[in-house]
Amino acid sequence: MKVEFTAAQIAALLGGKVEGDPEAKVWGVARIEDGASGMLSFLANPKYIPYIYNTLSSVVLVNDDFEPSEPVKTTMIRVKNAYEAFAQLLATYQEYTSNKVGISENAYISPDAEYGDNCYIGDFAFVGERVRIGKNVKIYPQCYIGDDVVIDDNTVIYAGVKLYAMTHIGKNCIIHAGAVLGADGFGFVPQPDGTYKKIPQIGNVLVGDNVEIGANTTIDRSTMESTKIHDGVKLDNLIQIAHNVEVGENTAMAAQVGISGSTHVGKNCIIAGQVGISGHLSIADRTTIGPQAGLTKGVREPGKSIIGSPAYDYVKFMKDVVRQRNIDKLEEKVAELEKKLEELLSK
């Protein structure tokens, strides 16, 4: 079903001011350069200013201080920050269109499980014993919610997510399809005969508030106590977090990061794609780790940027890259100097 909004309605929601037709209607979003009738776009980056004079989008969000150099044909809505306003609008639209409520008769819910008002539990979801689910929680089809799991208010669990027993999810979280939280940590003791004896993993996973976990990401339960993902953490798709790891508040990780057991990652860190971090390390707050870096030792100083494998200071790494690119010239220079030295010695 196509849902339409007028420029006036959007401006009222965002606290903006309409310039143009307040009854201009939109039902979708598009980049300003790819605009079409019925689309909403935004202009935040100055390099895209030329597109606003020819865009076919019906409504464009612009910053308060935008001063056009020629007439603008489309309807504009002036807001304090066009990019943030656009993000707010998308969030509102998503909430409006995905506000599912109701319990499917095809779901299994243990008789002693509890759930709050306005919940949605989809087809073939399984909710185990003593589970506690808060208000406005959305659990999409084919999810597995193990025994003694706690899911706090306003959290969304997308299709196919598996929450093993005793996992605790905070408020306002989003867990995307296929994620697995609470599987056993990778703990084995080598035996004299070359086999491995499994170490029981009896801990759990604790996830704070306002956390987002990407599709097919896995977070292992601890051997004892808890693997901890603190408030505000953002995890991309396909991330592996091992047992007993702790990730500090507001840290963000891109896809294919792997963190080995018992490592502590500080607050407000940024970890780029395909980073590998060894076990039992401590990463200081506000550390930035570049793509494909490999950490074999901890980072003690807050706010450092590192890259490479093994990882070290970003600035030094970039200087070394320049030197490596000039190694052929250096080889030629050394050969030339050796030839001159031989000539001098022969005289």
Average pLDDT over every residue of 315-326: 85
CA distances from 325 to 3, 148, 331 (A): 56, 57, 11
Whether 243 is catalytic is: yes
CA distance 111 to 42: 49
The lowest-confidence range among 64-68, 97-101, 125-129 is: 97-101
pLDDT of residue 277: 98
User: CB-based burial of residue 204 (10 Å sphere; 0-12 exposed, 13-18 middle, 19+ buried)?
Assistant: buried
For the chain, the C-alpha Rg in angstroms (whole number) is 27
Measured in degrees and rounded to the nearest 5, phi and psi for residue 309 equal -140, 105
The band of 98, judged by pLDDT with boundaries at 50, 70 and 90, is confident
CA distance 343 to 155: 78
Q: Which residues pair with residue 261 across a beta bridge?
A: none
Average pLDDT over every residue of 301-322: 90
CA angle 162, 163, 167 (to 5 degrees): 165
pLDDT of residue 91: 84
pLDDT tens for each residue of 203-223: 999 999 999 999 999 999 999
Q: Do strands 196-198 and 188-190 pair parallel, antiparallel, or not at all (unpaired)? A: antiparallel
Kindly give, in sequence order, each residue whose CB lies less than 8 Å from that of residue 49, ignoring residues fewer than 6 positions away. Answer: 43
Whole-model pTM: value is 0.83
Answer whether residue 177 shows pLDDT above 60: yes
Residue in 132, 203, 207 with CA at minimum distance from that of residue 168: 207
Answer whether residue 97 shows pLDDT above 80: no
pLDDT tens for each residue of 66-78: 999 999 999 999 9
CB-CB contact of 263 with 271 (8 Å): no
CA distance 248 to 264: 8
pLDDT of residue 100: 86
Average pLDDT over every residue of 112-128: 97
Answer whether residue 261 shows pLDDT above 80: yes
pLDDT of residue 124: 98
pLDDT of residue 117: 96
The band of 1, judged by pLDDT with boundaries at 50, 70 and 90, is low
Measured in degrees and rounded to the nearest 5, phi and psi for residue 105 equal -70, -10
pLDDT tens for each residue of 179-189: 999 999 999 99
pLDDT of residue 340: 86
Average pLDDT over every residue of 53-80: 96
CA distance 144 to 178: 10
CA distance 75 to 52: 10
pLDDT of residue 167: 98
CA distance 106 to 112: 18
Q: Which amino acid appears at position 272 of this protein?
A: A
Query: Which one from 168, 176, 230, 243 is the annotated catalytic residue?
Result: 243
pLDDT of residue 328: 87
HSE at residue 132, side-chain half, CA atoms within 13 A, is 10
The lowest-confidence range among 46-60, 104-118, 297-311, 316-330 is: 316-330
